[in-house]
Every structure is written in C-alpha cells, then in structure tokens.
Amino acid sequence: MVSRPSPKARRGGQTSEPPHFETLQQSTVGMIWEPSATHANRHRDDAPVSIRTIGSDSNAGEVIASSGSDIEKRSEHDQRTYFFFGKPMSIAHELAFFLVVSTANFTPHSGFHQTLCILQLIAADLGATHPAQLVWLMAGYGLTVGTFILLAGRLGDIYGYKRLFLVGNVWFAFFSLLAGFSIFVPIKTSMYNQGRYTVFLLARILQGIGPALMIPNGVALLGVTYVPGPRKAMLFAIFGAMAPASAIISPAITSLFALVWWPYAFWAFAIALIGVALAGLYVIPDPPIVIEGDEDNIDRTRHQGFINLCAELDVLGALTGVSGLVLISVALNQGSLAGWQNVYVPLLLVSGVLLCAIFVFIERRARKPLIPLEALNVGVGFVLAAVACGWGCFGIYVFYIWEFYEVLRGASPLLATAWHSPIFISGIAAALTTGFIIHRVGPAAVMALALLAFTIGITLIATAPINQSYWLQTFFCNIIITWGMDLSFPAATLMLSDLVAREHQGIAASLVTTVVNYSGALSLGVAGAVEIYVNGGGQTPEDILNGYRGAWYLGIGLGATGFLISLVFLFEDKTPSIAAVYVEYVAGSSGAYDQFGLTFFQTQM
C-alpha cells in the first residue's frame, strides 16, 4: 500500500484541504478518503482528509467496493459544492458563482468575434485600406492571448485565481473602452499617417492580455471548487459550450449596436466586463485562511524579495519566450504589410528565433520553469504540430469566411451572423459526440477525424463560387469544420497526457491552449501575405476572391499536413482507456484533474 500525506490545495498562495468523502475508487486503483486523525471532529466546514492509494496488488479487503459509476459519494450532509475544498455553497450562490466564472470562456471569444463581424465598418472609419491591416487587427488579439496564457497561469498560482480573474476582466474592459474611443483620434496625425488605426490596433493587442489572465484562472476556479464526479463533468461541459454560444451571440449583439454606431459595441462590452468583475468580487469566495503552524503551508518568504519572486515566476523565461513569439508573429505579419524588402522585418524574425533559443536555454536551468523541458519529447512535438496545423487552418477559415460573407456576397453583419449560426448547433453536437466516442475509438482516431474535418471544411469554402446558394458549400463548410475544433482539442490533450509523466500532466492543457491561440494568429499573418501576393491588387471581385482562395489553399495545406501527422498516431495508438487516464489524474498531483476537466470538456471556438 502506498501512503501519501493529506493533499493540500494550494491556491493563491494559501493552503486548504479537501472535503470528507466516504470512498473514492476506480476499478483499477482503489482510492479511499479518510478523516485525518488530527482533525477527526472537523467535517462540514473544514474537513481535511488523507488519501490512501491502493494498487492492484494491495489487500482487497482494504478497498470498499462500489457497483455505481458515480465516484462522488456523499455523507448525510449535502456536500454538493466546495470552494477550495472548504465551505459549501447554497444553490443560489453556486449558480451565481458558475455564471460569473463561466464568462472566462465567453467574453474572450466575444472579443474576437465582435471585431470580426463588423471589421469592414471599422476599417472604413479607421482609414485602413490595406488587406494586411485588417489581418493585423485580428491576429494581434490572438497573438497576445496565446503568448501570455502560460505566464498568467503561474501568476494565478502565486497571487490567487480570483484576483487574477478579476484583474483580467478589468484589464479587458479598459482596453475595450480604448478601442471604442479610438474613433475620436484623427485618421492622420502630425506624428503618424495612421493615427486612428494605430490606437485601435494597440488597443486590440493589449486587449488580449485580459483573456490570457481570465481563461486559465477561471478554469482553475472551477477546478478547485468541484470534486471529481458527474456534476463537475457536466459543469465543465456547460463551460465549454460558452465558446460556440459566444461565437453567435456576440456578433448578433455587436451587429445591432453597429446599426447605430460601432463604438457603442465596445463600450457596452466594457460595461459588461466591469459588471462581471464587480459580481465576481462578491460571489467568488475568498480562499480560506491558512492554519497557523501547518508544516505544509507555502513558505511566504518566497514572496519577500525580488530575486525569489523572479525565480518563482520564471521572469527571464517569460520575457524571452513571450518576446520571441511576439517578434516572430510581428515579423510574419509585417512582411505582408510592409514587405520583406524592409531590413527590419527579417531582423525581427531572426531576433524572435534567437530569443526562443535563449528561452530553451533558460528553461533548462530555471528553478520553476514555465515549461518543464523534461516533459517534452518527440511525441509531444508531433501532437502539438498537428494541433498547430489544424487550428492554423481554422484561423484562416474563420477570418476569410466573414470577409467572403460581407465583401463578396454583400451581407450585412446581421445576415452574416445568421449565415454563420449553424456552428452553434454543430458545435454542441460535436462536443457531445466527442465525449461519447473518444473512449471507444481512442483519441488518436478522434484527432485524425478532426484534421480531416478541418481539411474538408475549408476545401468546401475555398471552391465555392461567389453567387452560389449559401445552402450548398458554405452551409456544409460551417457544419463540418466545427467538428474539427471540438474533436481536436480534447483528443490532443488526452494524447499529451499519455506522453508526459504524471508530475507534468497539468502542462498538457496549457501547451494545447497556447498552441491553439498562437497558431491561429501566426497562420493568419502568413495567409495575409499570400492574399496580397495573388489578388492582383484586389480591383475586381474576381481578384479579391483569388486572394481569399490563396489564403484558403494555405489552410488546406495546413489541414492536410496535420491529417498526415495524426495518421502516424492512429497507426501507432497506444493510448490507454479514459478510465486509466482518469485514475492517473486522480492519483497524481492535486491540480491534475482540474486540467483534465478543462481539456476533456472544453469546446473551443
């Protein structure tokens, strides 16, 4: 029998203990929750436990058998919900808590789609006429979201998930206000020829830091609140459904505001974010008070001193890694906007590559690296490459299909939203299907199907004529490509969970989320360069369509490449069953199941 001390949930620099449960077991590994001997009388409000893990070779008499599949066993009290494995919530409090925290998967997608659906209106008022300028307005947002997520998660571990979640909302609100107020900046200023565009672009880039802070810390809040079981699984599924809902609801609301004046949409969005922050201040409970003298308390001296704090945050790794990724993306985007003949563009690219190399060097020696390099191997690299190809394909699809709706087919933002709406129903169906089939056919097969859906979907829209009926290729493109999104994310994470050691399970979700956001921004920058190269100046609808198709053909290439990579894993699939993966998470570190909940049930859009 393997014994472990009472697990401590370390959140926001504080220590707490899990609730009492009578039994927790799986068919392959028995896990028994027992009251701690030192706190036998503390049960409902502050009930620590110890965990015994029993291997398959252990005494069978030590395992309490259970015929039910529900691992969540309750005592005579209603222990429905816990915050930091502490005080239970009322039903009303729980509902308010979940509604607030679930915005972490709604408003980030709103920030993307509210600009995308009225991009042509914004471009006209900003004086942005170059196609690459429009690409930058979308790619800049995804760039900052993708590059700051890993650091944001580390900040939440140290300073508290609630605090970082609230800060993310306020940050997001401020730069949404700035985006709306950019309309009052002159189009051309004495200092710069594109003054209004520059202010709006800066606001868009800095907006992305807000979602980067909200997403990992919002997920962490849900993860540490709910114990493993069907209730947690269902709420994570609902959390995931926020993404496709946002992809339709946000453009619809934005389009209505745009009928009057598009800045109103950004100002209203900022007010909503402030409302979420104020609500979160009250409905998200504070972490419990640390018990004095507890030998497992986090050493608070690590926060007292600049050097220790930098080591804890891996500041050098964060600076070099984030800067490197940003410079590479900027170079690829500016290459299409300003031209590669400008010396500074290749210089930015080389500098970004060098900074990424320095990041690898630093991570090998960091005390607490952002990305433990020992967790990475060839298999991880191939999985992430497949994810990057698939979501790069999707990033190109989603940007240019909205341009196709509004520029070539003459749809208003509201009509374009209606045309795009099938992804909502399709996304929900794909998410539910993923949960049903992934443990039957394995994540490698699901991943291959996802990349096939990406490739088929973008091929349909790439070959659609301008005047063709919407109900033919365009409609089926939206239906099919949505399955690529909702199949690929959980499949990739489960594959990574099998490829990395137990102590690095949490890094799987972070890496996949980072690659999803960054690859979309990066691919969009390259697609912008392709569009400009083949559109012949964009003087006629046929020229514009050729430019869009050039970008979509790049997406087809990315999707096909990812499909070939996924076939390697399909034919060499050694992925364990979902039950085995689940047991590994429960038996592992305290935060592992939290990441599993995110990656298995989250729907990305």
In a domain, 270, yes or no: yes
Q: Are residues 488 and 441 in the same domain?
A: yes
Per the structure, how many domains does the chain have? Answer: 4
pLDDT for the residue 299: 47
Residue 142's pLDDT band, with cuts at 50, 70 and 90, is: confident
Q: Which of 164-178, 516-530, 539-553 has the lowest mean pLDDT?
A: 516-530
In a domain, 102, yes or no: yes
Q: Are residues 407 and 266 in the same domain?
A: no
Long-range CB pairs of 32-38 (<8 Å, 24+ gap) are 32/62, 32/63, 32/64, 36/6
In a domain, 81, yes or no: yes
Q: Are residues 67 and 196 in the same domain?
A: no
Measure the CA–CA gap between 57 and 159, rounded to whole angstroms.
Answer: 41
pLDDT for the residue 539: 86
Q: Nearest-CA neighbor of 138 among 153, 151, 120, 150? A: 120
Q: Are residues 128 and 219 in the same domain?
A: yes
pLDDT for the residue 155: 85
Q: Are residues 65 and 141 in the same domain?
A: no
Q: Which residues pair with 50 in a beta bridge?
A: 34
pLDDT for the residue 455: 97
How many H helices and E strands in the chain?
21, 6
Q: Are residues 220 and 350 in the same domain?
A: no
% pLDDT > 90, the chain? 35
Task: Say if CB 562 and CB 386 are below 8 A apart.
Answer: yes
pLDDT for the residue 65: 34
In a domain, 281, yes or no: yes
Q: Are residues 96 and 76 in the same domain?
A: no
Per-residue pLDDT averaged across 304-313, rounded? 71
In a domain, 479, yes or no: yes
pLDDT for the residue 507: 65
Supply the range of the domain harboring residue 204: 90-287+304-314
pLDDT for the residue 515: 87
Q: Are residues 484 and 538 in the same domain?
A: yes
Return the SS3 of 128. Answer: coil
Q: Are residues 67 and 96 in the same domain?
A: no
Q: Strands 2-3 and 49-54, how do they pair? A: antiparallel
Most confident option among 211-215, 263-267, 503-507: 263-267
Q: Are residues 129 and 159 in the same domain?
A: yes
Q: Which of 282-296, 339-353, 388-402, 521-535 has the lowest mean pLDDT?
A: 282-296
Per-residue pLDDT averaged across 490-514, rounded? 68
Q: Which of 144-158, 165-179, 445-459 has the lowest mean pLDDT?
A: 144-158
pLDDT for the residue 185: 87
Q: Is the pLDDT of residue 406 over 80?
A: yes
Q: Is the pLDDT of residue 263 over 90?
A: yes
Q: Are residues 361 and 384 in the same domain?
A: no
> Where do the H-state alpha helices sit in 118-194?
119-126, 131-159, 161-181
User: What is the distance in angstroms between the CA of the first residue and the CA of the last residue of the chain?
Assistant: 44
Q: Are residues 114 and 251 in the same domain?
A: yes
In a domain, 531, yes or no: yes
DSSP secondary structure string, 349-374?
HHHHHHHHHHHHHHHHH-SS-SS-GG
Q: Which residue has the higher pLDDT, 20 or 408?
A: 408
Q: Nearest-CA neighbor of 129 among 141, 119, 140? A: 119
In a domain, 588, yes or no: yes
Q: What is the CATH classification number for the domain harbouring 569?
A: 1.20.1250.20
Q: Is the pLDDT of residue 231 over 80?
A: no
Average pLDDT, the chain: 76
Last residue of a domain, one of 88, 110, 142: 88
Q: Is the pLDDT of residue 413 over 50?
A: yes
Most confident option among 101-105, 263-267, 494-498: 263-267
Measure the CA–CA gap between 489 and 338, rounded to whole angstroms.
Answer: 35
Residue 35's pLDDT band, with cuts at 50, 70 and 90, is: very low
Task: Say if CB 208 and CB 140 are below 8 A apart.
Answer: yes
In a domain, 54, yes or no: yes
pLDDT for the residue 242: 84
Q: Is the pLDDT of residue 11 over 60?
A: no
Per-residue pLDDT averaged across 296-325, rounded? 69
Per-residue pLDDT averaged across 50-60, rounded? 34
- 3-state SS string over 326-340? HHHHHHHHHHHHCCC
Task: Say if CB 427 and CB 604 are below 8 A apart.
Answer: no
